[in-house]
């Protein structure tokens, strides 16, 4: 048995960031991870062939690079090997009609491409980019603040003082709008709308879901103004650097150490019991980086003592699932729409807003979509170190998919367990890719397919393949993430806290949940 000031259940990047800050404040920290590899959904491994490094989940590290945690600890992280690969050509969409549109961090390039679809849209884009610094101040302040009435009041006051009542209402309207409503109000080209709307699908926002407009807006504007960054050698560069920070500061990280129970006495968390039977005590805090259902359904076998909280954790809603297809390639895709697409970090294949809406509805109805949204990552176009010389990796994220298959929208795959159908569905994905990049199949050297259930097996927080650990719809965001009254990473059990994507401010690589909790516990 060991005694720690703080014990962490799970070694995702939020837990590591929290532990690093507390360790540097003098706390004795212990992290217990069930898997052999730490990092949660931020891992990079050789899934296909030796020498080909694939990002398991997260690929884009822009949120971490721009985070408050990185701003404070940039030197420490760099000393432990953190290295970014900057991206100038950030994201694009290819379309069935042979056209494409992409956003680069060169405004003239982006606006020129957009003008071929609509001169009016290009002018709108320039106006939005010009106004973005002022708008970003308020949005980033909101997303980077603790979710409390006091913090919200401060953000609202600052917004009203800087923009006036009309401007404040406009920002509030953006936060409540659906992607379709915002895009149709601002852009006339269907191609431009579809390119931007796909970012909503990264976060469970089909085009017609309220509250989703802010994500296409922020991602497109940030990519235009700041570019994007990937991790040099893999996204796990942040995990290696965080690990170095924790261990040098005296923290302990144990892998293959599954926590079976959080021990509670007198309404206060006192430590953990491992599946091996070992027990460890925590004098100040137990911090669980787990999905809400696992907290009250497993780690607290007798519940939290608050029936309302326990019910909310049980009913926490997860987003539709995802399939990941990792490919080792002899060459990058030969995009039919144009060779310039080969230099983009992401190429989206999502033809229209209506197609995205149909795919989303199919998935939540338990159907295998006939035409899923494909997010094609080309990290070796940016960072050649991830593959042997002259070779490449492809990161294909297939959105949206059901966790349990009831039927197939295309009528070609009989309902069955994902283990029986994943390879057949992967072939459907490759068939779609073939229509956009005809050379792809003959360049495949190796492939690894992870169904939604495979993702959950790798990381139990990815329930049903939900890579964002919970829907971000308005009823489960802001003051309601993960539940009303518990948006401050608190629980009804004293000294027990939640962190991770299921808590405010949600999914992404920014480590804001872990860092803000660490500041709350240990000071700034």
Map out the domains of the chain as residue ranges.
2-40+63-83+234-316+470-522, 98-221, 320-458
Which tens digits make up the pLDDT trace of 339-365? 999 999 999 999 999 999 999 999 999
d(CA 435, CA 231): 30
d(CA 279, CA 263): 9
pLDDT value at residue 276: 97
CATH number of 320-458: 3.30.519
d(CA 379, CA 229): 10
pLDDT value at residue 431: 97
pLDDT value at residue 162: 85
Crossing angle for the helix pair 68-79 and 512-522, nearest 10 degrees? 90
Residue ranges of alpha helices (H) inside 117-177 are 119-143, 149-176
Residue ranges of alpha helices (H) inside 203-306 are 214-226, 237-248, 292-294
pLDDT value at residue 237: 98
pTM for the whole structure = 0.96
Strands 2-9 and 279-288, how do they pair? Answer: parallel
pLDDT value at residue 159: 85
pLDDT value at residue 163: 87
| Residue 12 DSSP symbol | B
pLDDT value at residue 36: 96
User: What is the C-alpha end-to-end distance of the chain, expressed in Å?
Assistant: 30
Q: Which residue has the tokens 């989703």?
A: 212
Torsion of CA 425, 430, 435, 438, to 10 degrees: -160
- Closest by CA to 394, choosing from 448, 457, 326, 455, is 326
pLDDT value at residue 250: 97
d(CA 23, CA 247): 9
CA atoms within 13 A on the CB side of 253: 26
Task: Provide the residue-wise pLDDT of the chain in tens; the chain has 524 residues.
Answer: 799 999 999 999 999 999 999 999 999 999 999 999 999 999 999 999 999 999 999 999 999 999 999 999 999 999 999 999 999 999 999 999 999 999 999 999 999 999 999 999 999 999 999 999 989 888 998 999 999 888 888 888 888 888 898 888 989 999 999 999 999 999 999 999 999 999 999 999 999 999 999 999 999 999 999 999 999 999 999 999 999 999 999 999 999 999 999 999 999 999 999 999 999 999 999 999 999 999 998 999 999 999 999 999 999 999 999 999 999 999 999 999 999 999 999 999 999 999 999 999 999 999 999 999 999 999 999 999 999 999 999 999 999 999 999 999 999 999 999 999 999 999 999 999 999 999 999 999 999 999 999 999 999 999 999 999 999 999 999 999 999 999 999 999 999 999 999 999 999 999 999 999 999 999 98
Task: Work out the number of other CB atoms within 10 angstroms of the CB of residue 451.
Answer: 26
| Residue 232 DSSP symbol | T
- Closest by CA to 125, choosing from 221, 226, 227, 228, is 221
d(CA 289, CA 300): 14
Check: CB of residue 465 under 8 Å from CB of residue 452. yes
Domain made up of 2-40+63-83+234-316+470-522: CATH architecture: 3-Layer(bba) Sandwich (3.50)
Torsion of CA 218, 466, 147, 31, to 10 degrees: -120
pLDDT value at residue 324: 98
């Amino acid at each position: 048995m060991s005694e720690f000031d703080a014990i962490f259940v799970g070694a995702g990047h939020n837990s590591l960031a929290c532990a690093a800050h507390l360790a540097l404040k003098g706390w004795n920290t212990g992290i217990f991870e069930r898997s052999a590899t730490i990092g949660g959904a931020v891992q990079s491994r050789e899934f296909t062939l030796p020498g080909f490094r694939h990002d398991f989940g997260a690929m884009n590290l822009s949120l971490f690079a721009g985070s408050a945690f990185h701003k404070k600890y940039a030197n420490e992280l760099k000393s432990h090997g953190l290295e970014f690969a900057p991206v100038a050509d950030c994201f694009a969409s290819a379309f069935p009609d042979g056209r494409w549109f992409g956003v680069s961090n060169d405004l003239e390039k982006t606006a020129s491409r957009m003008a071929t679809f609509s001169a009016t849209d290009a002018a709108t884009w320039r106006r939005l980019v010009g106004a973005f610094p002022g708008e970003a101040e308020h949005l980033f302040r909101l997303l980077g603040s603790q979710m409390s009435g006091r913090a919200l009041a401060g953000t609202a006051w600052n917004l009203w003082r800087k923009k006036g009542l009309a401007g404040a209402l406009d920002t509030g309207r953006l936060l409540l709008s659906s992607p379709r409503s915002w895009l149709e109000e601002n852009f006339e080209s269907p191609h431009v709308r579809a390119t931007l709307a796909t970012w909503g699908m990264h976060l469970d926002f089909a085009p017609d879901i309220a509250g989703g407009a802010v994500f296409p807006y922020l991602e497109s504007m940030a990519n235009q103004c700041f570019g994007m960054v990937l991790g040099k050698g893999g996204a796990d560069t942040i995990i290696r650097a965080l690990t170095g920070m924790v261990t040098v500061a005296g923290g302990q990280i144990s892998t293959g150490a599954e926590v079976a129970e959080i021990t509670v006495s007198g309404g206060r968390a006192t430590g953990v019991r491992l599946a091996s039977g070992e027990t460890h005590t925590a004098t100040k805090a137990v911090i669980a980086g787990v999905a809400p259902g696992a907290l009250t359904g497993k780690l607290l076998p007798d519940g939290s003592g608050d029936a309302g909280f326990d019910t909310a954790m049980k009913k926490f809603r997860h987003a539709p699932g995802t399939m990941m297809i990792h490919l080792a390639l002899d060459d990058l895709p030969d995009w039919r729409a144009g060779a310039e697409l080969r230099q983009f970090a992401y190429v989206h294949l999502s033809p229209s807003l209506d197609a995205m809406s149909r795919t989303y509805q199919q998935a939540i109805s338990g159907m295998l979509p006939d035409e899923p949204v494909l997010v094609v990552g080309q990290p070796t176009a940016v960072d050649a170190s991830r593959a042997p010389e002259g070779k490449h990796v492809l990161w294909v994220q297939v959105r949206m998919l059901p966790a349990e298959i009831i039927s197939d929208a295309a009528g070609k795959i009989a309902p069955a367990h994902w283990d029986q159908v994943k390879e057949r569905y992967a072939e459907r994905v490759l068939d779609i890719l073939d229509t956009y990049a005809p050379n792809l199949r003959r360049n495949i050297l190796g492939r690894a397919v992870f169904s939604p259930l495979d993702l959950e097996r790798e990381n139990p927080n990815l329930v049903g393949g939900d890579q964002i650990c919970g829907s971000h719809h308005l009823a489960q965001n802001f003051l309601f993430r993960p539940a009303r009254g518990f948006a401050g990473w608190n629980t009804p059990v004293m000294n027990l806290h939640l962190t991770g994507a299921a808590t405010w401010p949600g999914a992404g690589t920014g480590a804001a949940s872990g860092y803000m909790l660490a500041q709350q516990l240990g000071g700034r």
